[in-house]
Amino acid sequence: MIGRGGRCTAPVRRGMHITFLTGIWPPDVGGPATHGPDFARFLVGRGHVVHVVTMGDGHPTERPCEVEVVSRRLPFPVRYGGIAVRGARAARRADVVYATATYAAAALAATLARRPLVVKLVSDPAYERAQRYGRFRGSLEEFEAASAISVRALKALRTAALRGARAVIVPSRYLAEIAAHWGLSEDRMFVVTNPTPPPRELEPERLEPGTFVFVGRLTRQKALRNALAAVELVPAARLVLVGDGPERAELERLAGERVEFRGSLSRDEALRTVAGAEAALLSSDWENLPHSAVEALSVGVPVVATAVGGVPEVVRDGENGLLVAPGRTEALAAAMRRLLEEQGLRERLAAGAKPSVAAISSEAVYGRLEGLLEDAAR
């Protein structure tokens, strides 16, 4: 199944033609699904032509440009091959290929079309695949040192897909330090953090006192079972989960009465929900630099999170949120309880939230990404 939106261009000035490959797109939720439409809209507004090729379960709900959707109902080799073939076809009319996932397909598409490739790493794709297929169960740091044959094969495929990129964009210093050991050219690697949402007027949702909000994919990575267990230990706490994913059915089975599942919401609806919370909650076992943390801070809401990956680069303990070690339910519950009970703490952390992300506006960050695409296209 292929879903198409109309071609959208803004007659601002003569710009680039960009083929944009990504693994998820709204109505999907998650960081890349947030980044994709936002960045495409920015590029179109700057006079560029953008053609997106992505995977999905239905029609795209946001169309800031032309969007092709390869159905997830197809077998994996067929749909992944479809991304490469359709990406190559679009790239023949493009100046540059930009990818936020499906890196091997993007590399093949760029090679077939003889166009430069720019990738944005949202994680270590070899690690994600090893986790998905049950080949590795440790941390990302442990994975980098692992030497099993199946792990080495996944690492080799990852590096081969990325090695030809003109630029590799990494949202956190944490992941940049890990990627520096993959054999990639360091002068082609750029740390560009995830931005705050474009400015908008939002009326915060009126949530019950003591409500924490999680926004994101309901996956094993997010360790939401720990979040559910922590809520049970804090009688005054409630939890609203915004998003969907493969863990939802099991999480609904485990959840108590003070947990509410909202499913997938629009960007503005999710931001309104977060804006009405005591704090955003992030219980992940591993992360790069989550959009959800940046977005919560951007609407003046502190973040209670595990100190994993690049999270401490935006959530600073005692300044705009509270950080705890991953996998420790009691510590997560203690942080939630402290935020609800310690006089003045929530107000002080909320006051530090917006200023802490003021320098990473979408205009500034997307302008930097646009410049990297233009450099690659020359």
For the segment 234-281, what is each residue's pLDDT rounded down to a tens digit? 999 999 999 999 999 999 999 999 999 999 998 899 999 999 999 999
- Tell me what pLDDT residue 131 has: 87
360, with CB counted inside 10 A (0-12, 13-18, 19+), is: middle
Mean pLDDT of the chain: 93
Confidence band of 340 (pLDDT split at 50, 70, 90): very high
79, with CB counted inside 10 A (0-12, 13-18, 19+), is: middle
For the segment 186-232, what is each residue's pLDDT rounded down to a tens digit? 899 999 999 998 877 889 999 999 999 999 999 999 999 999 999 99
pLDDT exceeds cutoff 50 at 105:
yes
For the segment 112-123, what is each residue's pLDDT rounded down to a tens digit? 999 999 999 988
pLDDT exceeds cutoff 80 at 1:
no
Answer for the pair 342, 287: CB distance below 8 angstroms, yes or no.
no
pTM, entire model: 0.84
For the segment 119-168, what is each residue's pLDDT rounded down to a tens digit? 999 889 999 889 888 888 888 888 988 989 989 999 999 999 999 999 99
Q: What is the CA radius of gyration of the chain?
A: 20
- Tell me what pLDDT residue 14 has: 60
**Mean pLDDT of the 67-80 span:** 95
Percent of the chain at pLDDT exceeding 70: 96
- Tell me what pLDDT residue 5 has: 42
- Tell me what pLDDT residue 101 has: 92
Domains, the chain, ranges and CATH?
A: 17-195+361-377 (3.40.50.2000), 211-356 (3.40.50.2000)
Confidence band of 6 (pLDDT split at 50, 70, 90): very low
Confidence band of 10 (pLDDT split at 50, 70, 90): very low
